[in-house]
Amino acid sequence: MIDKIAQIKDEALQSIAAATDENSLNEARVAVMGKKGTVTLLGTIMKDVPSSEKAAIGQLLNATRSAVQNALDEKQIALQSQADLAALAGIDPTLPPRALATGGLHPLTLLRERAVGILRRMGFSLAEGPEIEDEFHCFDALNTPSDHPARNPKDTFYFDSGKLLRTHTSSVQVRTMEKQMPPLRIIAPGTAYRRDEIDSTHLSAFHQLEGLYVDKDVSLPDLKGTLEMFLRELFGAQTAVRFRPHFFPFTEPSFEIDVLLEIKGQAPRWIEVAGCGMVDPAVFEAVCQSRGDRFFDSSRVTGFAFGMGLERLAMIQWGIRDIRLLIENDIRFLKQFA
């Protein structure tokens, strides 16, 4: 009996050792440990063993089974690592990995996030309004007369309904004052649309960053200090900034802001970056009418507003000569910002 067990064990171990791959190992596994496997069937001899020997034979059987199982497990691991090594043949695992292409943010996004970050630190919070606007919020409430060129269907995208694609983010000024109470200090980055011929400095869909500050006694020096500080944070402490008198229907007085652009090898030139001014009392009056109260009465509050072109700021920031680069998705251009 003991000899028979030893013999079956030896045969089992040999067949396992002889397996050369996963298939032959599986065959060996079935042949020895399967339902009708040689080692499994050894269990049936127990009934013929005299009871005096049952304990000893039982122990021997258990030891045999676990030896065979161990041999199967070890062989499986050995075959697996053999297969792994074979898969690596011809590959040098000590080579450094290839760099991952991780992508990056679009320059306009980078610029908007920086600009918004600076203004938020100065106490402005974000506001927004719809891109499909009505004439009231885009023009009338902003003191823009009906014969103003911006209202011409040649310059502005109108829908049959009479609504339009907002021509500037200044409409968010009105929307915000309708909903919030003074004092308020908001910025609204967003898209604006004009029927402009696309060229190196114009797109028909572009981005602006609007700002509005309304409180008791907001003054022109507040406007000037805020925007100078903003532009120097954005472009560097040495940046020269100038305010040039201008006209906007919704501010009085109004200014355009220029930044002195100094590119090596080129004569320095002033570039317009924003419009701004003190909120016109006519705008406050339209807001009061729309709200049906006097919280924005111009005898109680004053304010300043500004609007800048984000594409313009990006072009200055990185010396981009053609605005169309910002929408062409040319990877050679975008890669430089990643």
Find the shortest distance in angstroms from Cβ 264 to ligand DAH: 31
- Of 276 and 325, which has the nearer Cβ to ligand DAH? 276
Q: Which is closer to ligand DAH, CB of 132 or CB of 263?
A: 132
Least Cα distance to 224 among 306, 102, 123, 169 occurs for 306
94 C-beta neighbours (distance < 10 Å), count: 5
Smallest separation (angstroms) from ligand DAH to the CB of 181: 20
The position carrying tokens 């080692």 is 39
* Distances 42 to 73, 212, 260 between C-alpha atoms, Å: 20, 91, 96
CB 107 to ligand DAH: min, Å = 21
Instruction: State the first-to-last Cα distance of the chain, in angstroms, to the nearest integer.
Output: 77
Residue 277 interacting with ligand DAH (CB under 6 A): yes
**CA pair distance 168, 309, nearest whole angstrom:** 10
Secondary structure class of 271 (helix, strand, coil): strand
Could you tell me which stretch among 38-46, 59-67, 271-279, 311-319 binds ligand DAH (CB under 6 A)?
271-279
What is the smallest separation between the CB atom of 182 and ligand DAH, expressed in angstroms?
17
Segment interacting with ligand DAH (CB under 6 A) among 67-75, 261-269, 300-308, 319-327: 300-308
Beta-strand relationship, 269-279 and 302-309: antiparallel
**Residue 261 interacting with ligand DAH (CB under 6 A):** no
If the CB atoms of residues 242 and 335 are measured against ligand DAH, the closer one turns out to be: 242
| Strand partners of residue 244 | 256
Taking the least distance from each CB to ligand DAH, the nearer of 199 and 262 is 199
CA-closest candidate to residue 177, choices 54, 333, 301: 301
Residues 137-196 that bind ligand DAH (CB under 6 A): 168, 170
Q: By CB under 6 A, is residue 213 in contact with ligand DAH?
A: no
- Residue 124 or 306 having the CB closest to ligand DAH: 306
Burial per residue of 220-233, b for 16 or more beta-carbon CB atoms within 10 angstroms, e otherwise: eebbbebbbebbbb
Rank residues 230 and 306 by Cβ distance to ligand DAH and give the closer one.
306
Write the DSSP assignment of 24-46 as a string of letters: HHHHHHHHHHSTT-HHHHHGGGG
**Nearer Cβ to ligand DAH, position 61 or 182?**
182
Contact window for ligand DAH (CB under 6 A) among 20-28, 66-74, 229-237, 299-307: 299-307
Smallest CA-to-CA distance from 172 within 231, 116, 212, 117 is with 212
Least Å from the CB of residue 105 to ligand DAH:
25
Rounded Cα distance, 76 and 25, in Å? 8
Beta strands in 88-168 (DSSP E): 125-126, 132-133, 164-165
Interface residue with ligand DAH among 210, 258, 280, 311 (CB under 6 A) is: 210
Closest to ligand DAH by CB, 32 vs 223, is 223
Q: Which helix (H) or strand (E) holds 311?
A: helix 310-318
Q: Which residue has the tokens 């992508």?
A: 103
Applying CB under 6 A, the span of 88-96, 107-115, 133-141, 301-309 interacting with ligand DAH comes to 301-309
Residue corresponding to tokens 């355009």: 256
Q: Does 280 bind ligand DAH (CB under 6 A)?
A: no
When asked if residue 307 is in the footprint of ligand DAH (CB under 6 A), the reply is: yes
Of the residues 276, 301, 310, 313, which one makes contact with ligand DAH according to CB under 6 A: 276
Q: Which is nearer to ligand DAH, 129 or 307 (CB)?
A: 307
C-alpha angle 307-309-314 in degrees, rounded to nearest 5: 140
- Contacts with ligand DAH by CB under 6 A lie at 168, 170, 210, 248, 251, 275-277, 305-307
